[in-house]
């Protein structure tokens, strides 16, 4: 079979060259363009099988390239790359005919899967190898092995709704991607972060609208549910969805049909919904923040993603995986982690989970001068446990060697955040900045250890 001709539109020359080198080595014939204008010239004259395009380019950006390319050869699949959280660009790209959408930073395994998946309907020999996709969930601990087995089973469960539970940063979107690709469905994987928009924007993004539905509705627009037909709609942070939108989502899940905003026609689609949250939805139901009927409808097939602290030696596999990935992306030589550094990685509690580990490993690749990560290169919180000194300031002390690891980890978190709360007089935002963590992660840890910020504000001074 002839090599797949892949066009790459990317204005970052270093990233473009890295993409070309890596993808060429896996069998693609790569065509390059530095912006949308050059991309259109390549597209017209070279006739690629598939296109991968960035959105943020000038003088012709990715959306304009997409619009014109679809006018020239609408059958050519186009995969779009963009920064995390740009939901408006995602919606516009899908409405213009993008086949798939990936967020930066790019995983080469996910990119290869998206490219081959976009061609699956045209050539059965180019269908995604599901065994290769399964390997993108890195880990060998029993909890991850069990998770992988459950994902493979649920992937074959048709349109049944799946709810992915887990702390922030554990990799819930990776699991959602696995479900999509292992299912063998022909449609796109389309993500929507329910925490990024207000209720009206989310409703419009999900269901689309008819012309004249509101002041600026000058044309009919499809929503993400329609764009994900025969594929997967991934609703991240479902616990943040507005209650009025929850009611309309529930109706769609029960009937498989919906109406666009301002429309009367019932539209039926075969879209699988996969939702994810770090929130306790059961508690939210009791507090009135989440619909009970939607919770029961989503919770048909729950999946729990374990926190990194419960994954044992997986921390080493993931750390090396992220280092290798970042080094390849930056065209740098491979690095290794020393035995002493590995020991400290194992003893850290990782409140930010896999996302925190990934960010740390990428920082090493960007800033490290040598090819080995050693103990002196690690940030202070990984080296020793902070406790409160007599003066109320933070001092460093080694954990007691006779204490069981689980107890030591709990004690570390409790002492660390109690000291920060005292130092910042119960201000959670200041504690989050000092610790380098997201405020929602800080609140979760405080609740786990029954540390009430108000108590520190009352006693401060």
Q: Does the pLDDT of residue 82 top 60, yes or no?
A: yes
3-state secondary structure (DSSP) of residue 150:
helix
Query: What is the pLDDT averaged over residues 3-29?
Result: 89
In this structure, are 148 and 65 located in the same domain?
no
Tell me, yes or no, whether 26 and 90 share the same domain. yes
Choose between 168 and 122: higher pLDDT: 168
CA separation for the pair 427, 436 (Å, rounded): 14
| 296 CB-near residues (< 8 Å, 6+ apart) | none
Which of 288, 306, 324 is the last residue in one of the domains? 306
Residue 257: φ, ψ to 5°: -135, 165
**Which CATH number characterizes residue 51's domain?**
3.40.50.2300
Band (147; pLDDT cuts 50, 70, 90): very high
Query: Same structural domain for residues 204 and 290?
Result: yes
Residue 78 contacts residue 53 (beta carbons within 8 Å): yes
Q: Give tens-digit pLDDT for 373-430.
A: 888 888 887 875 343 333 333 334 344 344 566 667 777 888 788 888 877 778 888 8
Q: Are strands 189-193 and 162-165 parallel, antiparallel or unpaired?
A: unpaired
Q: For residue 285, with 0-12 CB atoms within 10 Å meaning exposed, 13-18 middle and 19 or more buried, which class applies? A: middle
Predicted pLDDT of residue 135: 41
Best mean pLDDT range from 82-96, 262-276, 336-350: 262-276
Boundary-marking domain end, from 110, 128, 146 = 128
Per the DSSP assignment, residues forming a β-bridge with 232 are: 189, 272
Look at residue 230 and tell me whether its pLDDT is greater than 60: yes
Q: What is the pLDDT of residue 112?
A: 80
Please state which of the ranges 17-31, 270-284, 402-416 shows the lowest mean pLDDT.
402-416
pLDDT in tens, 436-449: 888 888 888 888 88
Domains of the chain: total: 4
377 and 404 share one domain: no
Mean pLDDT of 49-66: 90
Is residue 229 domain-shared with residue 343, that is, in the same domain? no
Q: Do 91 and 153 lie in a common domain?
A: no
Tell me, yes or no, whether 3 and 100 share the same domain: yes
| β-strand partners of 234 | 191, 274
- Residue 33: strand, helix, or coil: strand
Are residues 262 and 394 located together in one domain of the fold? no
Residues 289 and 144 in one domain: yes
Q: What average pLDDT score do residues 319-330 get?
A: 83
Task: Assess whether 221 and 353 both reside in one domain.
Answer: no
Q: Which CATH number do you get for residue 360?
A: 1.10.8.60
Rounded CA-CA distance 390/23 in Å is 58
**pLDDT greater than 90 at residue 218:** no
- Give yes or no for residue 117 having a pLDDT over 80: no
Q: Where are the alpha helices (DSSP H) in 348-460?
A: 353-367, 380-383, 405-423, 428-435, 439-448, 453-459
Whether the per-residue pLDDT at 458 is higher than 60: the answer is: no
Which pLDDT belongs to residue 87? 62
What residues make up the domain containing 216? Answer: 133-306
Q: Give the N- to C-terminal CA distance of the chain in Å, as an integer.
A: 75
For residues 113 and 163, state if they share a domain: no
Residues 159 and 27 in one domain: no
Q: What is the mean pLDDT of the chain?
A: 82
**Last residue within a domain, chosen from 278, 306, 334:** 306
Q: The domain spanning residue 255 has which CATH number?
A: 3.40.50.300
Q: How far is CA 338 from the centre of its chain?
A: 29
The span from the CA of 323 to the CA of 441, in Å, is 24
- Rounded Cα distance, 414 and 176, in Å: 33
* Tokens at 15, concatenated: 């990233």
Asked whether residue 126 carries a pLDDT value surpassing 50, the answer given is no
pLDDT for the residue numbered 319: 92
Angle at 115 between CA 112 and CA 118, to 5 degrees: 145
């Amino acid at each position: 079979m002839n090599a797949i001709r892949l066009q790459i539109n990317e204005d970052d020359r270093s990233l473009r060259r890295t993409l070309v080198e890596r993808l060429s080595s896996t069998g693609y014939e790569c065509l390059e363009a530095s912006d949308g204008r050059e991309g259109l010239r390549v597209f017209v004259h070279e006739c690629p099988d598939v296109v991968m395009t960035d959105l943020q380019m000038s003088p012709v950006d990715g959306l304009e390239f997409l619009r014109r390319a679809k006018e020239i050869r609408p059958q050519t699949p186009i995969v779009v790359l963009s920064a995390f959280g740009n939901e408006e660009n995602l919606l516009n790209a899908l409405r213009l005919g993008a086949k798939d959408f990936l967020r930066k930073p790019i995983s080469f395994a996910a990119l290869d899967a998206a490219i081959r998946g976009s061609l699956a309907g045209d050539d059965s020999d180019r269908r995604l190898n599901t065994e290769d996709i399964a390997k993108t969930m890195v880990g060998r601990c029993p909890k991850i092995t069990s998770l992988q087995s459950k994902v493979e089973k649920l992937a074959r469960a048709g349109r049944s709704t799946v709810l992915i539970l887990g702390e922030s940063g554990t990799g819930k979107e990776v699991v959602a991607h696995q479900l999509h690709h292992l299912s063998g469905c022909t449609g796109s994987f389309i993500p929507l972060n329910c925490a990024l928009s207000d209720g009206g924007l989310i409703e419009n993004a999900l269901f689309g609208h008819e012309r004249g539905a509101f002041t600026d509705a000058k044309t009919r627009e499809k929503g993400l549910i329609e764009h994900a037909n025969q594929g997967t709609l991934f609703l991240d942070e479902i616990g943040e969805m507005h209650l009025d939108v929850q009611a309309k989502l529930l109706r769609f899940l029960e009937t498989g049909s919906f109406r666009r905003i301002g429309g009367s026609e019932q539209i039926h689609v075969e879209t699988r919904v996969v939702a994810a949250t770090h929130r306790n939805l059961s508690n939210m139901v009791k507090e009135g923040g989440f619909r009970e009927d939607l919770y029961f409808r989503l919770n048909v097939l729950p999946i729990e993603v374990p926190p990194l602290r419960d994954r044992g030696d997986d921390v080493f596999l993931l750390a090396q995986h992220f280092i290798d990935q970042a080094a390849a992306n930056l065209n740098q030589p491979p690095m290794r982690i020393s035995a002493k550094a590995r020991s400290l990685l194992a003893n850290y509690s990782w409140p930010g989970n896999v996302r925190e580990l990934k960010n740390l490993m990428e920082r090493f690749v960007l800033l490290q001068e040598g090819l080995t990560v050693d103990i002196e290169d690690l940030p202070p919180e990984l080296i020793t446990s902070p406790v409160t000194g007599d003066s109320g300031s933070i001092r460093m002390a080694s954990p007691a060697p006779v204490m069981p690891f689980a107890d030591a980890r709990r004690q570390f978190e409790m002492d660390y955040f109690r000291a920060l709360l005292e130092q910042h007089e119960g201000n959670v935002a200041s504690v989050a900045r000092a610790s380098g963590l997201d405020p929602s992660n800080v609140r979760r840890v405080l609740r786990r250890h029954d540390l009430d910020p108000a108590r520190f504000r009352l006693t401060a001074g």
